[in-house]
Amino acid sequence: MVHHHNVKIYYEDTDAGGVVYYANYLRYMERARTELLAERGIDVSSYHAKGYLFAVVNVDVQYKKPAVLGDLIDVTTEVQDVTNVTITLSHRIFRGETLLVEANVRLACIGKDGKPQRLPEEFTRLLPIKEKCL
C-alpha cells in the first residue's frame, strides 16, 4: 500500500543554485514516514513516551533530478520489510510523473538506553509489507 505526502517547495528549501538542498529530501521523507505511521494508527509520540525510540540506521538515496522553487512534489512511502527490531521503507519523490529521488531507509527500534529492542507487536499488524513479485 503506497502512502502519498505532498510538499510545496519554498525559497527556504533551496540552495544557492536554486534547487532543493539535498538534505531537505530527507526531511520530506521523515514527514512522509510520520504521516504514514499516523494513518496506520501509530502515534510516534505515544510510543516515545512508552520508551520506544526509532533511529535511522541506514539511508540509501539516489538523486535523479532536482526539485525547484514552486514545485509541488509527491513523496511516496511503502513498507518494504518489518523484522523484530527494524522497519525498512522505500520512498520515491515525484514532480508529476517525473521521478526525482529514490531512497530506502531502515529504522531500528531502540530503548532510552540506546540499545535495540523489539518492535511493539502491533507494528507487524499495522504495517503491511509490500508484496514482492516472484
Which residues does the annotation mark as catalytic?
15
- The SS3 of residue 26 is helix
* Spatial contact of 46 and 13, defined as CB atoms under 8 Å apart: no
Query: ∠ CA(74), CA(80), CA(81), 5° rounding?
Result: 145
Q: Which residues are registered as beta bridge partners of 53?
A: 110
